[in-house]
Chain A
Amino acid sequence: MSNQLSATKIKSWLEVVKDPEIPVLSLNDLGVITSVHIDTNNKVTVEMTPTFAGCPAMDVMRSDVEDVLKEHGIEEFEVRISFDVQWNSNMISEKGRKALKSFGLAPPPQHDLIVDIDIIEHAQCPHCGSENTDMKTPFGPTLCRSMHYCNNCLNAFEQFKPI
């Protein structure tokens, strides 16, 4: 087996690990798995980075990743969480953005890493696609969500915050 082990293969195994708070979004698509490395002794190191410093789901994500590695017979591994690579919402993949939308969450607008009020206020309704929306509060039920209202279809909705 060891001959066939590759970082790409391990990353594909990890596709089953989802964000515990957004179960349609894989950690790969969320962008929190920043690297997979296999050393000469076949020890696997998975590097992860938190979306928010206080994200309570991080420990669950780590143990879910560890479980997948064990299920595939990996004996020597380390799942490391650090800020060596700093997560931002542009790191969510195109597939991840579609998954968020179908889940009813507006994906975060792409930004140039300077997030200002005009970027935060701009949200497209995930239900009807209208941009005629108002931000109600930049804080929401989880650290990564803000709350908005659609003036077109008259639904409240949440957005994954641009950060």
Chain B
Amino acid sequence: MNTEAIKELVYKMADDLLILGHRNSEWTGFGPLLEEDIAFSSMAQDKVGQSWQMYKILHELGDSEPDTVAFMRNANQFHNAQFVELPNGEYDFSLIRHFLFDSAALLRYQMLTESSYTPLANLTKKIKGEAKYHSMHAKIWMKQLGSATEESIQRLQNALDEAMPYALGLFEPSPYEAHLIKDKIFAGEEALQILWQKEVESIIEETQLILPDWNSLIPALGGRNGQHTEHLQPLLDEMSEVFKVDPSADW
């Protein structure tokens, strides 16, 4: 087993979940409907929990305790895509990101259930059921608001245009792609992106939204290597504020 390749894969998945989980939690108390407030809060809890399970896998591979890894790194040590660290914006942007990210996450987990790396296969067999709820929730709202009023369609279209280059950053290739594919750990970012584009196209087709031309988009890369926007460090500072008061405290 190529441990470095596995770690790279698990870190970026865990960091995506932790950071987007935190962003989702920022909707708690502010959702446009009570049900949406609860949905984003619940998805936040799922995502942070899933990230914790992935940090546990990394801990078993020799890295620090999950809490330490989650709370004590600086922005340039995080491997999440820039997409997930962007501020929530209005509900339209959060919904578009929710749809684009969770479609990709669910497909990724489904692929990883076949992984030759058993801890990851077992975990993704579990969390794909949870991710299904997230993806389904996003699709329902996309279909409703993507064909509702002039305003809802225009808002989602603007958010989609803004989000798409960042969404493509989710598939930034790892330096270990060839190893991961050869060792049957993961079928690779390119294979995932192909499935994801088909999925996104099939949902957008059911709405009045227009997909940008895939070939015209320039993906926002760098997140997997620790290059982030100015939005990540303030998020980390807030997220880790209590933990850092006393990292040895027993909760």
Show the binding face of A for B, using Cβ within 8 Å.
Answer: 49-50, 52-56, 82-84, 86-88, 115-117, 120, 136-141, 143, 147, 161, 163
Contacts and interface: CB of A to CB of B under 8 A. Distances in A.
Contact of B125 (A83, A117, A138): A83
A138 B49 contact: no
A54 B38 contact: no
Most buried by B among A116, A138, A161: A138
A72 B90 CA distance: 56
B126 to A, nearest CB: 4
A87 B50 contact: no
A143 B137 CA distance: 14
Closest 6 CB pairs of A and B: A54-B49, A139-B42, A137-B35, A83-B122, A139-B39, A86-B126
Most buried by A among B41, B47, B49, B50: B49
A82 to B, nearest CB: 8
A54 B50 contact: yes
B125 A86 contact: yes
Contacts of A161: 133
Contacts of A54: 45-50, 52
13 contacts: A52-B49, A53-B49, A53-B52, A54-B52, A56-B45, A83-B125, A86-B126, A117-B140, A138-B136, A139-B39, A143-B45, A143-B49, A163-B129
Consensus secondary structure, chain B interface:
helix
Nearest to A114: B132
A86 B38 CA distance: 26
Contacts of B39: 137-139
A52 B43 CA distance: 12
A149 to B, nearest CB: 12
A116 B41 CA distance: 22
Interface in B37-90: 38-39, 41-43, 45-50, 52-53
A139 B122 contact: no
A50 B45 CA distance: 14
A133 to B, nearest CB: 16
B49 A115 contact: no
A84 B48 CA distance: 21
Contacts of B132: 115
A15 to B, nearest CB: 25
Contact of B137 (A86, A136, A138, A140): A138
